[in-house]
């Protein structure tokens, strides 16, 4: 990695990347060792997504994820990140009540967990006011429109959003209102690439796509999906760059066979008493 690449990524440096057409690389992480891999591999943004609930904690969706769970995992990620910008995902019901509660929750990501900003799903009128209040309280906020998994019970299923004219218009409108509310970037999830391209051209702040095609200013994927370390269904937009599930299953099977067969531990993995010094 070049010396320049090792400078810590900041909110303003993301804006510079957009302006100089340098793609922004983002991935999720939820623990120290994977965050260390991402940071050392030069990922720009580590998002501690509430996808944590599904890929790490085994929940059916992201709704049960709590603030305490998010803070616990964000702390571990922040301990590993030297260069990457760590963003904490505000879980369901952490920003749905009053301004005071929202700011108190968002500030925990910065004060307790070492994150440099938070991400918030949606762009309702109330949400936009809360986002503006968080920005006013010096909390950098990333927006998230298109498919917003915390709305699963409204949406019914995870599928592409903005495929028709009316839906596309609504998503464009939300993205622009988020920019006006002060977000430093907008995640576009599961939208047609043509719409993502138009939003990317119109917005001054960077767009980060997931299932939104190549025209966004950056890309994000869930680490466990791209590493082949998740068991569930993977949508079309996920490219698997490794097969960690297979690698680890084979390793654990071999370990079990070796323990059962008396092959492990062998002498090279075994301690012996110190030899007595010769008289």
Question: Which residues are tagged catalytic?
Answer: 189
Q: How many other CB atoms sit within 10 Å of the CB of residue 21?
A: 7
Cβ 40 to ligand KIV shortest distance, Å = 21
Binding residues for ligand KIV restricted to 75-114, rule: CB under 6 A: 89
CA distance 228 to 182: 35
Our finding on whether 65 is near ligand KIV (CB under 6 A) is no
Cβ 76 to ligand KIV shortest distance, Å = 16
- Spacing of C-alpha 227 from chain mean position: 14
CA distance 199 to 172: 6
Structure tokens at 240: 């698997």
In three-state secondary structure terms, 234 is coil
Place of tokens 């490219």: 239
The nearer residue to ligand KIV, 159 or 250, going by C-beta atoms, is: 159
49, 22, 21: which is closest to 35 by C-alpha?
A: 49
Our finding on whether 217 is near ligand KIV (CB under 6 A) is no
The nearer residue to ligand KIV, 118 or 168, going by C-beta atoms, is: 118
Our finding on whether 141 is near ligand KIV (CB under 6 A) is no
Please say whether the beta carbons of 23 and 41 come within 8 A.
no
Out of 30, 34, 43, 49, which residue is the one contacting ligand KIV (CB under 6 A)? 49
Our finding on whether 212 is near ligand KIV (CB under 6 A) is no
Q: What share of the chain is helix, strand, coil (3-state, %, to 5)?
A: 45, 15, 45
Which residue number places its CB atom closest to ligand KIV? 49
The nearer residue to ligand KIV, 38 or 220, going by C-beta atoms, is: 220
Our finding on whether 220 is near ligand KIV (CB under 6 A) is yes
The nearer residue to ligand KIV, 102 or 165, going by C-beta atoms, is: 102
- Interface residues toward ligand KIV, by CB under 6 A: 28, 47, 49-51, 89, 187, 189, 210, 220, 222
């Amino acid at each position: 990695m070049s010396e320049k690449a090792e400078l810590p990524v900041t909110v303003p440096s993301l804006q510079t990347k957009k302006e100089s057409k340098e793609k922004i690389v983002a991935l999720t992480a939820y623990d120290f060792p994977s965050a260390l891999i991402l940071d050392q591999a030069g990922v720009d943004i580590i998002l501690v997504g509430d996808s944590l609930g599904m890929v790490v904690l085994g929940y059916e969706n992201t709704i049960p994820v709590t603030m305490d769970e998010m803070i616990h995992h964000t702390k571990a990620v922040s301990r590993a990140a030297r260069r990457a910008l760590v963003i904490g995902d505000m879980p369901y019901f952490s920003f749905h009540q009053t301004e005071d509660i929202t700011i108190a929750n968002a500030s925990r990501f910065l004060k307790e967990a070492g994150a440099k900003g938070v991400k918030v799903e949606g762009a309702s009128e109330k949400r936009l006011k809360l986002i503006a209040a968080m920005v006013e309280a010096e909390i950098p906020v990333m927006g998230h429109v298109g498919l917003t998994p915390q709305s699963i019970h409204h949406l019914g299923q995870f599928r592409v959003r903005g495929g028709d004219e009316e839906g596309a218009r609504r998503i464009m409108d939300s993205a622009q209102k988020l920019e006006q509310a002060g977000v430093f970037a907008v995640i576009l999830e599961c939208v047609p690439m043509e719409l993502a391209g138009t939003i990317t051209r119109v917005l001054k702040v960077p767009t980060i796509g997931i299932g939104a095609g190549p025209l966004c200013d950056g890309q994000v994927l869930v680490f466990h999906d791209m590493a082949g370390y998740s068991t569930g269904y993977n949508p079309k937009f996920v490219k698997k760059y490794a097969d960690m599930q297979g690698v680890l299953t084979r390793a654990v099977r071999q370990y079990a066979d070796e323990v059962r067969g008396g092959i492990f531990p062998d002498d090279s993995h075994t301690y012996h008493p110190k030899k007595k010094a010769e008289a």
